[in-house]
Every structure is written in structure tokens, then in C-alpha cells.
Amino acid sequence: MSTPHNEARPGDFAKTVLMPGDPLRAKTFAERYLENRTLVNNCRGIQGYTGFYKGKRVSIMASGMGMPSMGIYSYELFTVYDVDNIIRVGTAGALSGDIPLRSLVIAAGACTDSNFAAQYNLPGTFAPIASYELLKKAADTARELNLPHRIGNVLSSDVFYSGLMDEYPWKKWIKMGVLAVEMETAALYMTAAFCGKNALAMCTVSDSIATGERCTVKERQNTFDTMMEIALSMV
């Protein structure tokens, strides 16, 4: 059965789906890494592929930008297509100057300025966290490969262009130990928790809010390869 956002059929997705935000990046990753790949979804231009990596079946599909989009696609993958694991492979902006460009941030948890959790009508504040087994695998692999990485909290923000950008309290998040800002992880972790499934977000630091530095296109591409190889090794 398809959905308003996904034209794939039951069984088209593997048990593990890797999710970059950008549909074209999903296409690039699929072409680079997956053998015998098939385009299983292109509804609304959100490309999803299923194929094989070193003999293991895996899917790669875009999430789009922001928590509403991630919430839709992750929920449908978990509930309609019986996916067990979603690994976000995206980008983030470092909040602190001691986190270098091209390093990897593995999100153990995700703070947010969003009201996404209100839908669950909980009598308190929910703390979105990663699935421990996926988190441990990613951390162990990064250490084995001697890759620069940090493990901790990220901020999933609903705001990209803020009218009060100069006054936005980045320093307050840094004070609380938050490593980087992005736009999807909190929704992924909450959806996984609600559905009883597994989720992890790994983000490449592509720019720094603290220093103003940005990766070049070539640097982004090379670093993404490293992130993808870690994610694929976990399948």
C-alpha cells in the first residue's frame, strides 16, 4: 500500500534505511554504494532506492528538510513499510569553535525549539535520544577508523533564517553542552520512540556558527563518503 508521500509497495524497503536530507544526495549515494539498486519511490521528488551493499540489503531515501518532513517519512517507513532502523546521514552547524569542520557529530540526544512533541500529549517534557545499539556501533566504528568525532546533544531547530539571528541564544545552548544545530533529529528520535523502532543521527559538520567557516563542495563530498561508509558498515 502506498501513501500520499510514498509510492513504494510493501517490501520495497530494506529493514534499514539511510536518510540524507537532500533527494539528489540520496540519488548520488545510491549510485555510488548500492548494487542492483531500484528506485522504489520518487513521489514529490523524494527519491528512495533499495539495493545491496556488500551483500546486505539496504535502502537510501531522502527525508527532506525540517522536522515535519522527517516526521512524515520516518513514521511511514516505520509503520507502513515495516522498517526497523533509520540512520540519518546529514549535515550540521557546529555551535562551538572547538568542533572542526568535516568532523562527525553522533547525536546521543536532540534538544529542540519545536513543538513536535505536543502531539503525544505527554504530562511532561520528553527527551529524544538515539537507540543505544546503533549509537554504540557508530561510535566504535569511528574510533576504530580514528576519525574525528564528537558524541552528545544536538539542537534540532525549526528556524534556519532567524529575524533575530544576532540575538539568537546560541551561547545558551553551548552552555548546556549542545554540540551542533540541525533540523531533523529530534523528530526522528521521537517518531522512533513512539513506533518502538530504532534511530540514529550522524551529521557531518559542514559549517561553524562560532567561526563562520564553511566546507567547500569538494570537502563536503569527501566527508560525506566517510559518514556513509560508517552508516553502511552498521547494516
What residues are annotated to the active site?
207
- Which residues are bridge partners to 90 per DSSP? 203
Q: Which of 116, 85, 93 is nearest to 235 (CA)?
A: 85
Residue with cell string 528520535:
189
Q: Position 141: which residue type?
A: T
Q: How far is CA 118 from CA 63, 69, 127, 198, in A?
A: 21, 16, 13, 21
d(CA 130, CA 147): 20
One-letter-per-residue 3-state SS of 120-135: HCCCCCCCCECCHHHH
